[in-house]
Structure 1
Amino acid sequence: MIGKEEIRRIKETLAIAEGPILSLYLDINPAKPENANRAYALRAKDAMKALGVPQDLQDRVLEVLKNQVLEAKTAVFFAKDKLFETLLLQVELPLVSSLKTTFLGEKESRFLTDGALAHYGEPFLLPLIYALDEYERYGVVYLDQERWRVFEIFLGEIQEVGDAFLALDTEAWRRLSLDAPGRRFNLGGISRGGAG
């Protein structure tokens, strides 16, 4: 599950790399008709070609897009000579769906089209940071007769939290018995509150 730690790791990895880096965000949602027959690979190819990305980087990204089954709604690629990071997100990023703003407008190093956002130069992490900020985390508690489990839901992914509950020994629990001092019930009759 992607989180701040994963973004920090990617940022540190990309900071070490020198020279321009390809940052590519693709809408690959298989439920959309415009993504039928892996049409997103053509959008990625056009975006990389428009930015003048070296052919070897283009080939590496297109190989993944054409030959692997990507079970996600958005695919994110960061690529350079020896660096190749792929993130699969289970949510659609609105920054990839033809939204043009003043800070996302097309520049020489950026290409934005419906379903693809490509940047060649400094690492472009804004859409990932936006997703972390925009989407909330949810917790789900599942109870049955034998156990209870906690799940965390974030960015369309669900993950079980293994150490959410401590195992308690029920034999160590203090038992309430009839002869226990300080018991709060009356065996003999009606209890009335008040001072009288």
Structure 2
Amino acid sequence: MAMLSPAELAALIASPRRDVLSVALDIDPTKPEHQDEPPAWRIWLRNELRRLLSHLPGDTRRQAETSVERVRAFVDQERPPGRGLAIFAAAGLWDVRTLPVPLRNRVRYGRPDVLPLLWAADEYEPYGILAVNRERAMLIVAYLGGTALAGADRLELDTSHWRFAAGRPPSFTKAAGMGASRGVQRDTFEARVTEQLRRFWQGAAEAAAQWLQETGTHRLIIAGPEEAATAVRRLLPDAVQSRLIAVVPVRSDADVEEIHRATIPVALAEEHRRDRALVDDVVARAPGGAGAVAGLAPTLEALAREQVLTLVADPDVETSVMQCTRCGFVTAEAAAVCPVCGGAVEQTSLSAILPLLARRSGATLETVTGEAAATLRAHGGIGGILRYTVP
């Protein structure tokens, strides 16, 4: 079970179908409301599916009923793993995705609605936790809503070649804290331990840097006792120093869940800080045309010109736009025919078309929540950073 990237959703994003039932659910089993039978999410889904059908016109409703019944049967019979569930259902289409993080509850009929998945991939972007102490270096990949152990490596120092070690090699902690030796012998032993620790922590720092580069992970938190965590921070290669969010103190014997709980506030604060900085940049630069746009019409125009580098949107803003059924041109203006090719136009939801618009123009879609979303909402709920400007 893993997060989904836009590339993995490409077929759904590009699909021309208008008959897809899209379901996104928070099924987190750790929440009390989901521990009853039936769980709260299943009750919500039943009610929402009923409401959806009641608002569809006759022919469309009859077409949707088959998919609705299939979804109902699935959630009644299955116990999906994970904390998030997405279903895309239509004639000849049955696509079920489980995620390690909760999704926002949402049901749509028409275009495949992948925005909740893209929002989750953005909001719950994985971050690396390098947990270190004197005995171990453990690399954890974590999400704000869950934890998955990506790999762990425990370095046991073999002290059998050292003069004062006898019998079964002691743990690294015991070896480093031995008090039986005296004088020069003790100094030599401790010097060896210190050097071995430095090599161990340097190896941990370099391995974490390699993992960050290989996986494209942009955030790292170092967790551990002050001595170990500070040492690893200093040894982290320059190439990935900018990805370090913070050093979080945790007990030497902390388990994965305790480490994750200690890092959640730091990771969440960093995510929201980034969102605020991005939106503030868009809002500040847009009025003067200094490499940014804000508002529905200006942003759609910039997307059509493939100017947008980073598309920023509040996923909760619901508005309709007009799309050409022939060339795909999208406009915020009411129109009887397409202003580009003269083809027929139809009304569609902005949230349904947004991922496709971003993909067509080569833009990265960033969804924001909280304070950042509130700020963006005052400017139409959508904007973007431009890759170039036009006079």
TM-score by length of 2: 0.31
Root-mean-square deviation (Å): 3.1
Are 1:30 and 2:26 an aligned pair? no
Superposed, 1:18-167 pairs within 5 Å as 18-35=17-34, 36-39=36-39, 40-52=41-53, 54-93=64-103, 96=104, 116-141=105-130, 150-154=139-143, 156-158=146-148, 160=150
Aligned pair in 2 of structure 1 residues 139, 31: CA closer, same or farther (>3 Å)?
closer
Query: Match for 1:9: what amino acid?
Result: E
Cα separation, 2, equivalents of 1:158 and 1:139: 10
Counterpart for residue 165 of structure 1: none
Aligned pair in 2 of structure 1 residues 15, 80: CA closer, same or farther (>3 Å)?
farther
Q: Secondary structure at the match of 2:97?
A: strand
Identity %: 25
Aligned pair in 2 of structure 1 residues 152, 43: CA closer, same or farther (>3 Å)?
same
Shift, 1:92, TM fit: 2.8
Contact 2:9 2:114 in 1 (8 A): no
Aligned pair in 2 of structure 1 residues 63, 144: CA closer, same or farther (>3 Å)?
farther
Aligned pair in 2 of structure 1 residues 82, 153: CA closer, same or farther (>3 Å)?
same
Shift, 1:133, TM fit: 1.6
Superposed CA deviations along residues 112-145 of structure 1, whole A, max 9, x for unmatched, are: xxxx311111121222211222223222457899
Task: Judge which range, 84-93 or 8-17, deviates more.
Answer: 8-17
Which stretches in structure 2 are left out of the alignment for 5+ residues?
Answer: 54-60, 153-391
Cα separation, 2, equivalents of 1:2 and 1:135: 8
Contact 1:89 1:156 in 2 (8 A): no
Q: Secondary structure at the match of 1:139?
A: strand
Aligned pair in 2 of structure 1 residues 138, 14: CA closer, same or farther (>3 Å)?
closer
Contact 2:129 2:141 in 1 (8 A): yes
Shift, 1:27, TM fit: 2.1
Contact 1:27 1:75 in 2 (8 A): yes
Query: Match for 1:45: what amino acid?
Result: R
> Whose helix fraction is larger, Structure 1's or Structure 2's?
2
Query: Match for 2:43: what amino acid?
Result: L
Shift, 1:146, TM fit: 11
The answer to which structure, 1 or 2, has the higher relative contact order (CA under 8 A, 6+ apart) is: 1
Counterpart for residue 2 of structure 1: 3
Provide the aligned length of Structure 1 versus Structure 2: 140
Cα separation, 1, equivalents of 2:32 and 2:140: 32
Which stretches in structure 1 are left out of the alignment for 5+ residues?
Answer: 97-115, 163-196
Aligned pair in 2 of structure 1 residues 11, 51: CA closer, same or farther (>3 Å)?
farther
